[in-house]
Structure 1
Amino acid sequence: MTAIHHPAHSLLDKLDGFSVIIDAARQRADIVLDRPPFNIISMAQRDQLRLVFEALDEDLSVRVIVLRAVGDNFSSGGDIKGFLEATPEHVSRLAWNIAAPARCSKPVIAANRGYCFGVGFEISLACDFRIVSQTAQYALPEQKLGQIPGSGGSARLQKMVGITRTKDVVMRSRRIAGQQAFDWGIATQCVPDAELEKATDALVDELCGFSPLAQRTAKKLLNDTEDSTLSIAIELEGHSYSRLRSSDDFREGVEAFHQKRKAKFKGS
């Protein structure tokens, strides 16, 4: 039999600008951007981040994934020089790589402080939850380079805040402070800088208390119905509900409710 080789087999041999920490006891995995002081995300790093999200999605010991960074800034964006050196084919895959948190079936939390620009903002927008500190600043500054966001930033932002605010942010390279991001509905929670880790830990623990099967179902349903009509969304919701109706976790949840105890979900 002929051996099959794939570039991905060696792509994760040495992580470029980030690390991965798995805490099996807490069912948590952290992807930590680590190229201080600004945690610039390289072209190669984008490919690796996608593969890591895919690998963690298959890891049964992981329930929740946290995307965070070392230092005072989440990420000031991508490697500008890398855009000129990359082939058009490579550049066309950027949005697919950065959408990896959205495709991941598990809950993904972005913990943002300081600069969160360009691809740093875009990959955060692809996460399910964004906890920001009051020092956080979101921006899509590509207009200053004669470009537009290329990894889903303008599209995802428009879905969240509408065309008027998105034009204001994108076409003027305008920065959004943490509190304003919360007020606009971009951030899930805004906390003092010193409390970012505590708030992230609390959300991880909360999410781990739910049924993993119900969590995966809810995420997929919400993602799949974001662009659908109301009637289709309701129809898909009904099918998803009926599927969960026969799950062990639903039976456990109902029994725990009536017995006034904490449910012990197994994910089946």
Structure 2
Amino acid sequence: MSQLKHPAHTQLEQLDGFSVVIDEARERADIVLSRPPFNIISMPQREQLRLVFESLDENPAVRVIVLRAHGEHFSSGGDIRGFLDATPEHVSKLAWNIAAPSRCTKPVIAANRGYCFGVGFEISLACDFRIVSETSQYALPEQKLGQIPGSGGSARLQKMVGVTRTKDVVMRSRRIPGHQAYDWGIATMCVSDSELEAATDELVDELRKFSPLAQRTAKKLLNDTEDSTLSIAIELEGHCYSRLRSSDDFREGVEAFHAKRPAKFMGS
């Protein structure tokens, strides 16, 4: 954990239910849920996950972040008893903590297999890419507890698949198999269970080849314009494009293209 830097570092000294692995040679950080068999996410763990994402976002050795889990299930959801014991102030922060992957300026990949329920699904929805295995099952089962999703799940899902499908999933606590998640546009790709790690590795290496500056710009632009009108989105896209034209990475990309060689992007 010595590689993680954050003002709230004392909260990161003993991680609750997960670990962090940084591979500087591959410019990659893995956040690994490690409370098998179902990797239940505790209340304190949610705050720590946010702090870790913020720390990794500041780490210049990391280009891509992977959120994955030990075992056959990504996560069956949160600690149910914890909801009854938590203060209203703590509960009000749930969505903010789980949205950390979306706020992170770097690409974030969720590698999902098996159960991916409740907060496990919600934090995966906040990532940029979701690779699912054929064993994956997404669900927001809070109706069975007399509740609704509280960490952005129904809102993010509705943006992706529309109100009709979201009502079907949320109001019936219905599970979405991996192949269906891909067909609906929730998952980036669906692979066999044995290929999940290899597919994740390939996507990490692919993303590392692009300009980190252009990737940060693209992610922020797409996030910021999700709720905007078409005319505003086009206007903001133009401003971002204009700023990138003066970057070292754009010049390198153009020169590499004409020289027919791989570009060496520096992120400036």
Q: Measure, in 2, the Cα distance between the counterparts of 1:174 and 1:125.
A: 16
Counterpart code for 1:48: Q
Q: Measure, in 2, the Cα distance between the counterparts of 1:264 and 1:7.
A: 33
Alignment of 1:104-183 (within 5 A): 104-183=104-183
Q: CA deviation at 1:226?
A: 0.3
Q: CA deviation at 1:7?
A: 8.7
SS for the counterpart of 2:249 is: helix
Q: TM-score, normalised by structure 2?
A: 0.97
Gaps of 5+ in 2: 1-5
Gaps of 5+ in 1: 1-5
Counterpart code for 2:83: F
Q: Measure, in 1, the Cα distance between the counterparts of 2:46 and 2:7.
A: 14
SS for the counterpart of 2:256 is: helix
Residue 68 of structure 2 is matched in structure 1 by 68
Q: Measure, in 2, the Cα distance between the counterparts of 1:145 and 1:223.
A: 31
Residue 255 of structure 1 is matched in structure 2 by 255
Q: Measure, in 2, the Cα distance between the counterparts of 1:105 and 1:181.
A: 25
Q: CA deviation at 1:10?
A: 1.6
Residue 57 of structure 2 is matched in structure 1 by 57
SS for the counterpart of 2:67 is: strand
SS for the counterpart of 1:168 is: helix
Residue 35 of structure 1 is matched in structure 2 by 35
Question: Any idea what the Cα deviations from partners look like across 1:224-257, whole Å, max 9, x if unmatched?
Answer: 0000000000000000000000000000000000
Counterpart code for 2:126: A
Runs of 4+, deviation exceeding 2 Å: 6-9
SS for the counterpart of 1:106 is: coil
Q: Measure, in 2, the Cα distance between the counterparts of 1:253 and 1:10.
A: 41
Q: Measure, in 1, the Cα distance between the counterparts of 2:175 and 2:8.
A: 36
Q: Measure, in 1, the Cα distance between the counterparts of 2:7 and 2:261.
A: 49
Tell me the percent identity.
85
Q: 1:34 to 1:128 in 2, by over 3 A?
A: same
Counterpart code for 1:112: N
SS for the counterpart of 1:19 is: strand
Q: TM-score, normalised by structure 1?
A: 0.97
Counterpart code for 2:14: K
Counterpart code for 2:238: G
Counterpart code for 1:161: V
SS for the counterpart of 2:264 is: coil
Counterpart code for 1:23: D
Residue 3 of structure 1 is matched in structure 2 by none
